[in-house]
Structure 1
Amino acid sequence: MGQFFEVIPEYLMKWILEQKMFWVATSPLSASGHVNVSPKGGLYFGLLDEKTFWYMDLSGSGNETISHLYEPDNGRITVLFNSFEGPPRIVRLFGHGSVLERGGVHEAGDQAFDDFVKKHDLQVLPSSRSIIIVNVHQVASSCGYSVPCYEFRKFRSTLNESFARKEEKFEQGKSEESRERYWAFKNAYSVDGLPGMKVGCKTGKQEGIAPIEKMVGPLAPQGYRNARAFGIWHLILVAVLSAICTALFLPLLPATLQGALHSSAS
């Protein structure tokens, strides 16, 4: 039977920290935007308290989570843990997230990133690009009876090794291997065109780096439209509706009120 909590119970906190991987799900506000789910592996996460979860976000070809958390009035995120060994269990952390960006070689990131790393004595990996903080407002626990059982073998080291090689090449004088140039190319925008990493966006503009094309074909997004934004078409619609209402209802008003309206208009 599913259970809901306002905070993470102590027994679930212990279980969460024992897991080897989890998933994060986010979505843009627009109904035409793409929902994203990302798997995360490695021991790069933790709990600050019963309502705060964090994880070290590593560089990759996508940056949907960062873009969705940065979107004004958004920030929604769900973190899912799943038991593959031992008793079955699924845990979801519902909340709102914030981004602490790591700086590049030439571009400063968030001071909060450096402060968080220092305070919690964290290792910054060559592939590290941000720390995601999740303020949890609801916790769900369910059975997971239909989830298969798997035996954990090992963590993959390919990503960290790849960025370690890039870092080494940069230190040897190859400026094109800097991490901020990688972020400018692949992490500056989401698949829907939402701004991503601030360091990536800034570097891209300064160095003229065009972002990678992320979706192709006739159904690829042509431009992002926030469903909550108030644009020119909303103004036109208001003007048209106002004109229609005036034409329909003004004749029905008393003559004295009509005169007052005409006087105020003139």
Structure 2
Amino acid sequence: MAKQFAGFEDPHRAFVADQPIFFVAAAAPDGHVNVSPKGRDSLRVLGPNRLVWRNLTGSGNETAAHLLRANRMTVMWCSFTTRPLILRAYGTATVTHKGQPGWDDLDALFQPDLGARQVFDMAVDLVQTSCGYAVPFMDFRSERDTLEKWAEDRGEDGVEAYWQQKNRQSIDGFPTGLPG
């Protein structure tokens, strides 16, 4: 049932645009495998073999740490509505942290967000669809504004202090590349 493609085709792009959530997986050669749910308006498919997603402040920074040790990433979307479908993109990625060269151009692809920490720029070498027949139906109610309020309450300096305290190492002690 799975079908493979050399890159995103128009129907894939439309499917991605309709999904309110996506999942990112990365793993270093050792330590824990990480899978993170991502939401909000934080992903753009920029071509058949390129996507970018902006990472907002979180309790960890596993993907950045894993990419420094093994540059591979999988992004997955699945439909919880009428059409059963799972879409995965496989590839490698670079990380641009806030304040680094290229940040302003990548960050400008999205609405301003005080909690924006880095942008992952993924070179996609394989897109795969599969059936999704066992994925349950679920209704999307709304985005959460909890992270936005959290960042606003702390302000830019408070958010950056949090990054320094909580986001410079992975749970396995690997550096994340976050500028100090």
Q: If the length of structure 2 is used for normalisation, what is the TM-score?
A: 0.95
RMSD: 1.3
Q: Which amino acid aligns with 1:83?
A: S
Q: Which amino acid aligns with 1:82?
A: C
Map of 2:14 onto structure 1: 14
The 3-state SS of whatever aligns with 1:198 is coil
Q: Deviations over 1:98-134 (max 9, x none)?
A: 11101xxxxxx2121112234x3x3230111011111
- Matching of residues 73-152 of structure 1 within 5 Å: 74-102=70-98, 109-118=99-108, 120=109, 122-152=110-140
Match of 2:173 among 193, 208, 222: 193
CA contact (8 A) 2:167 2:178 kept: no
Between Structure 1 and Structure 2, the one with more strand by share is 2
Q: Return 5+ residue gaps in structure 1 as ranges.
A: 103-108, 171-176, 203-266
Q: Which amino acid aligns with 1:24?
A: V
Map of 2:150 onto structure 1: 162
Map of 1:263 onto structure 2: none
Between Structure 1 and Structure 2, the one with more helix by share is 1
Higher RCO (Cα < 8 Å, 6 or more apart): 2
- 1:63 paired with 2:43, answer no
Q: Which amino acid aligns with 1:191?
A: I
1:197 Cα deviation (Å)? 3.8
Give me the whole-angstrom Cα distance separating, in 1, the residues matched to 2:158 and 2:134: 44
Give me the whole-angstrom Cα distance separating, in 2, the residues matched to 1:29 and 1:147: 30
Superposition misfits of 4+ residues, deviation over 6 angstroms: none
1:193 Cα deviation (Å)? 1.1
Q: Deviations over 1:42-87 (max 9, x none)?
A: 121111101111111000111000111122xx21100000001121
1:151 Cα deviation (Å)? 1.1
CA contact (8 A) 1:53 1:134 kept: yes
CA contact (8 A) 2:24 2:35 kept: yes
The 3-state SS of whatever aligns with 1:184 is helix
The aligned length equals 180
Q: Which amino acid aligns with 2:172?
A: D
Q: If the length of structure 1 is used for normalisation, what is the TM-score?
A: 0.65
